[in-house]
Amino acid sequence: MRSSAMAHQRDQQLNRQQIEMLKLGLLTVGTGVTDLWEVGLVPRQGTYGPPTTVLVPAGNSRAATHIALQRNPAYVFSGIRKIKPPN
């Protein structure tokens, strides 16, 4: 039971860290430091899964693509577009 509780606590901490990183990324987009990119991904040859898109805050399209592929190693790049903020 103790190991289960410790694993749950680690998961909770990881979730909090991920939420804080997301908030920080969106703050950089909101202040104009970075842009928000929609990166299209398709499964690597020999793997299964649906095509997907991910939103990535980054300074340019190359950085956004790199981040998206790092976070989704089972996928390859299929396209990208810059998300324009609402007026």
CATH at 53: 3.10.20
pLDDT of residue 43: 97
Confidence band of 50 (pLDDT split at 50, 70, 90): very high
pLDDT of residue 87: 60
Q: CB-hemisphere CA count at 13 Å for 70?
A: 7
Which structural domain range is residue 34 located in?
Answer: 2-83
pTM for the full predicted model = 0.72
pLDDT of residue 71: 93
| Residue pLDDT, tens place only, 12-34 | 888 788 888 778 777 787 777 78
Q: Count the domains in the chain.
A: 1
Q: Could you tell me which residues are beta bridge partners of residue 81?
A: 38
Whole-number mean pLDDT of the chain?
88
